[in-house]
Amino acid sequence: MAHSLPDGYQFRIGSSLDKARLSKFMTLTYRELFPDREDFSHLVQTVENYLSSDTPLWWVEWTREASESVTVACLWMGNAIDLVSGDRYAYIFLLYVAPEHRRRGIARALMHRAETWAAARGDRQIGLQVFSHNQVALDFYRRLGYEIQSFSVGKPL
């Protein structure tokens, strides 16, 4: 697995000051996955409620010209509790790479960053949610060694 970003890209640590940018990236993600849906305003509240010093955020910036950087990807981490064992584990809230920057190793570098962070905390696992119709993401995570552990089921009422 590639551990570093390609030339021209660099990591930047995010902070609670990045709420608007994180909300924008979450909205981009969900618009891609659910193009028929228009209102994702609830994502702003999600970021407001959960972004903190306990939920680290990393950005990937691309230097387009000598002095101009553009944010093209992000990773937002948090915590979850294994309901069987009761153990805390690292959880990926968001991994997003802008479409025009995909297939360059950026997501792999971000996943390495996530796994390194989790291991440094002593976590024994890392988790995330993937929508069942997102085959590209499912294939990506499987290539990295991730396995489906459960299914989320729902029924419209």
> What are the structural domains, with CATH classification, of the chain?
9-143 (3.40.630.30)
Give the pLDDT band (50/70/90) at residue 155: very high
Per the prediction, the chain carries an average pLDDT of: 93
54-80 tens-digit pLDDT: 999 999 999 877 778 899 999 999 999
CB 55 within 8 A of CB 77: yes
Q: Is residue 48 predicted with pLDDT exceeding 70?
A: yes
Give the model's pLDDT for residue 1. 45
Give the model's pLDDT for residue 104. 95
